Structure 1
Amino acid sequence: MIDRSLAAIGLRRRSFEGAGAGRRTFGWGKMPNPQAAVQAARQPLMQRARYLVANNPHAAAAKAAWVAALVGSGIWPALTGPISDRWTAWTDEADADWLTDFPGLCALLVGSMVVDGEGLAVRTVTRAGLRIRVLDPDQLDGSLTRPLPDGGAIINGVEFDAIGTRVAYWIKPQRYELAMPANMNPVRVPAEDVIHLFRPDFPGQVRGISWFAPVVLRIAEHDEWHGAQITRQKIGALLAGVITTQDGTTPFAGEMQGDAVIGSLEPGAMVVLPPGKDVTFSNPPAIAEEANEFARITLHEIAAGLGLPYEVMTGDLSQVNYSSIRAGIVSWRQRIETIQHNVIVFQMLRPTWKHWVTVERLAGRIDGRLEDPVPVRWITPKQPWVDPAKDVQAEVDAINAGLMSRREAVAARGMDVGTLDAEIAADRAREKALGLTFTSPVKVPQPEGTTA
């Protein structure tokens, strides 16, 4: 009212209509404090997203698509020599629960980040080396929030020092409450021993929010609509006939229910009704084309809210061609690379690599001083081509034109150029030693006046 009164006399006027007050904006939602909103909504959204992934096929496909795109067969460090062999051997031993390998641990954490909003794991050191145990995000005590005497604070189970640096996590030691009384009091775990994987959506974010947050309501409503359409189809399949007679007799034998006779027709039967008797069949409802179009539009909205191409989430390729699917996939791959490098590599892989190198050096399994860093470049999984022939030719043309390097092209395939060159050299040496001859690669035409 104050805003409208001031605006009426020309003292205050908003130039942005979305910030205005009036009939058009009445009932619009607001989020003044995103951190408080996440604290209040994180657990309900997580529980509902889990339910949808367990019961809705599109939600399950969305989670699987994100995990496959972000992790695939694994994000690997570009290594050579003994340290590469030791890392490869360790990846099979990384899981403290002995359920999967290191890429599998990454997939578990990424899947939890997509559905629950965050992935949680702890790193522990055993005699055999570094081990990682994936935890349920509920084990991070979200109810624990209080100030600390040194000027720091615990917010939703995450402890910060006086300057706002994460220093510890308060984690419940058991995953779930057991039938017998159990100690569910949280234990303080130093931050350097914890993997807390989540997508930061705003500055100062403490806990992650489910990626399904924008579409939880839309998926639930789509489920309800779909159930109603199935019921409609079931009713439509119930074809019934009503026989009208003038003398009260019936040509069918059947079961008497009150004054009515309930009979049935058999396939292939030929029935001749006597004069004065008529049969009227029901007209069951059919699903019109606008209902199918409504379903597609709703699924497009759900896919957009989840950051997925519609075709990836639904598997529906009926309305795409090479150009349209390539444009959609290229845009999605840019989003994939952003999350891989800015979230997964930064929050999980780099800290784990530093921790692993320290443990292995202390155990004497790899050479080097503790203070010497071991920089590494992480190779993401190869993204499949839309049209291999066209994509390869485009890469060859770009390399020949000087617009990209072989290293860049090889890295896009999820490989390291040094490793690839060594494999090619070894293959050619073995072929020569064995007297094998294969089709020679096609030579690129050289400009006139130059020698190949």
Structure 2
Amino acid sequence: MSKRNKKARKAAKHAAHAAPAAAPVAVAAGPVLIARTQYDAAGHGRRTRGWRAPGTGPNRALAGLNTIRNRARDAARNTWSGAANARVWATNLIGVGIIARSESKSATRKQRFAEIWDAFVTSSDADGVLDFYGQQTLAVETLKSAGEVFVRFRPRRLDDGLMVPLQVQLLESDMVPTLDADTWPGMPIGHRIRQGIELDRIGRRAAYWCYREHPGDGPTIAVSHADLVRVPASEMRHIYKPARPGALRGVPNNVSVMTRQRSVDNLDDAVVFRQELSNLYAAFITREPAGSDPIIDPATGQPVESDHDGAPMIGLEPGLVQELAPGEDVKFSSPPDAGANYADFMRQQHLGIAAGGGTPYELLTGDIRDVSDRTLRIVINEFRRACEQEQWQLIIPQFCQPVRDTVGRAAVLAGLLKQTELAEFCRCTWSPHAWPYIHPTQDVQAKKMEVDAGFRSRTGVVAANGDDVEQIDAERAADAARERTLQIPTAQKGQANA
């Protein structure tokens, strides 16, 4: 045996005698592999002591959802950052509206489809307040502040005076209780209710169980089958972003920073109140104990007036020089100020709040100091990418397109469309409101260069601006014809480019 092997055997034998007693371990031939934690976050040392991380499922983790939702709405009502978060998202996701443009190749049918759709848009709200684009904004604001919103289709009679006998009703998430039941009156056998949503045997959404009226506006305390109505899934849509695979309900957008948001708002309110008190200029006159005789003002020789509690008062006037009586002294209040680091501290806190809600700090607060044009462009472009993600993954497939499909079916029932035209009516291009230019000259030149180089079509550029290329071409042709008729001189191409 070599000298090296003898040393290794001796070291192993010494380690075996020195090690504490442990459970027997089966040792296989060859080198012994000792299991070791590879991630620090999986350890149970001092740094992770008290870190409670339950392994609840995606729906059991929603326990207390009603409380979370109520607090999120309260934050949107009573904190400026909560209100700004929902407003900024709605402004950028919807703008003036996500518009549907028919893909029909027939100009006649395309015009007729547009008339049917426009008639629905103006009278879409079942509550009679907004049009369809206004409902888009309200849906997004509700989605961001409460985590979800339900859309119920309301068929109407032909004699209700609507061209398209259909309206859309937006329902707050409270209208669908977080109810779990394996059996329920009126539910088909084999179905089950999870989080107020009825699932069939293979887990598909079959119906939604809704309150007849908002539980916050009525006397309902406990959930009863008499308070709920079953709405088939074909007549309702659920707009939400699942936080985890299999999650049936949504959570507010800023749920991870709600506690911080409230604490920061309370601190800010306390500082504002303290500054309000500091602006109350006050002076306190102290004197030695006196008898029952009235106090005489040495300047006037008259008794000093007293307030309703009997405390002496001396009137103050600009430029007044007041002589104090013997034994009297004046002390001025000196409340503390907000602190030199207050602004930096609040900025740091709102940076975290903005990040938790997915909103750029500059857009949430309006604070763009020390931000260069290049940095602001990076921030806005990143936020716009997030907005496009939600537009095409949530708003359009969960809300806009289902409404378009349902309008088409209602138009067929009303005789406005033929059954063979339904699929063509439903096929459309959704055009979100175009983003405003960050740098108009550079942005327009970049698009023109893409078209000239063949990297992009003019139709794509026009569609990205939220416009219809056929309508643009028709308007350009009409302008050119009018200029020729009126003999208006047209600028040369080279001069126009200059």
TM-score range, shorter chain: 0.7 to 0.9
1:101 pairs with one of 104, 109, 131: 131
Rate the CA distance shift 1:281–1:370 in 2: closer, same or farther, 3 A: same
* Match of residue 146 from structure 2: 116
- Deviation by residue 1:17-60 (Cα, 9 ceiling, x = unmatched): 11211211112232422423443132111101111111112211
CA RMSD of aligned residues (A): 3.3
State, as a whole percentage, how many aligned pairs show the same letter.
Answer: 31
* Match of residue 142 from structure 1: 178
- Determine the C-alpha separation between the residues in 2 that align with 1:136 and 1:195: 12
* Match of residue 309 from structure 1: 360
Contact residue 153 and residue 160 of structure 1 kept, 8 A: yes
Taking the TM superposition and a 5 Å limit, the aligned residue runs for 1:357-376 are 357-367=408-418, 369=420, 372-373=423-424, 374-376=426-428
Contact residue 90 and residue 137 of structure 2 kept, 8 A: yes
Q: CA deviation at 1:70?
A: 1.1
* Match of residue 130 from structure 1: 166
Taking the TM superposition and a 5 Å limit, the aligned residue runs for 1:344-383 are 344-367=395-418, 369=420, 372-373=423-424, 374-383=426-435
> Quick check: 1:228 aligned with 2:251?
no
* Match of residue 189 from structure 1: 231
Amino acid at match of 1:236: S
Amino acid at match of 1:46: R
> Quick check: 1:339 aligned with 2:367?
no
Q: Which has the higher mean CA deviation after the structures are superposed, 255-264 or 289-298?
A: 255-264
- Deviation by residue 1:274-320 (Cα, 9 ceiling, x = unmatched): 99976553333112221111111111111111111112111222332
Amino acid at match of 2:197: V
Secondary structure in 1 matching 2:346: helix
Query: TM-score, normalising length from structure 2?
Result: 0.79
Rate the CA distance shift 1:425–1:30 in 2: closer, same or farther, 3 A: farther
Taking the TM superposition and a 5 Å limit, the aligned residue runs for 1:210-221 are 210-221=252-263
Rate the CA distance shift 1:17–1:93 in 2: closer, same or farther, 3 A: same
Q: Which has the higher mean CA deviation after the structures are superposed, 277-286 or 159-168?
A: 277-286
* Match of residue 5 from structure 2: none
1:239 pairs with one of 241, 256, 281: 281
Q: Which has the higher mean CA deviation after the structures are superposed, 405-414 or 50-59?
A: 405-414
Q: CA deviation at 1:436?
A: 3.4
Rate the CA distance shift 1:402–1:229 in 2: closer, same or farther, 3 A: same
- Deviation by residue 1:188-220 (Cα, 9 ceiling, x = unmatched): 211121021111221111111111211211111
* Match of residue 291 from structure 1: 342
- Determine the C-alpha separation between the residues in 1 that align with 2:116 and 2:483: 29
Amino acid at match of 1:299: H
Q: CA deviation at 1:91?
A: 0.5
> Quick check: 1:60 aligned with 2:83?
yes
- Determine the C-alpha separation between the residues in 2 that align with 1:207 and 1:11: 43
Contact residue 78 and residue 416 of structure 1 kept, 8 A: yes
- Determine the C-alpha separation between the residues in 1 that align with 2:278 and 2:468: 59
Rate the CA distance shift 1:276–1:442 in 2: closer, same or farther, 3 A: farther
1:198 pairs with one of 230, 240, 252: 240
1:30 pairs with one of 45, 53, 65: 53
* Match of residue 450 from structure 1: none
Q: Which has the higher mean CA deviation after the structures are superposed, 431-440 or 190-199?
A: 431-440
Q: Which has the higher mean CA deviation after the structures are superposed, 26-35 or 206-215?
A: 26-35
- Deviation by residue 1:231-268 (Cα, 9 ceiling, x = unmatched): 32133223334557899997575548999854353223
- Determine the C-alpha separation between the residues in 1 that align with 2:273 and 2:227: 48
Amino acid at match of 2:146: D
* Match of residue 449 from structure 1: none
Amino acid at match of 2:482: R
Q: CA deviation at 1:347?
A: 0.8
- Determine the C-alpha separation between the residues in 1 that align with 2:272 and 2:478: 60
Query: TM-score, normalising length from structure 1?
Result: 0.87
> Quick check: 1:405 aligned with 2:405?
no
1:428 pairs with one of 480, 488, 495: 480
- Determine the C-alpha separation between the residues in 1 that align with 2:266 and 2:360: 23
Amino acid at match of 2:246: G
Contact residue 412 and residue 422 of structure 2 kept, 8 A: no
Contact residue 59 and residue 246 of structure 2 kept, 8 A: no
* Match of residue 11 from structure 2: none
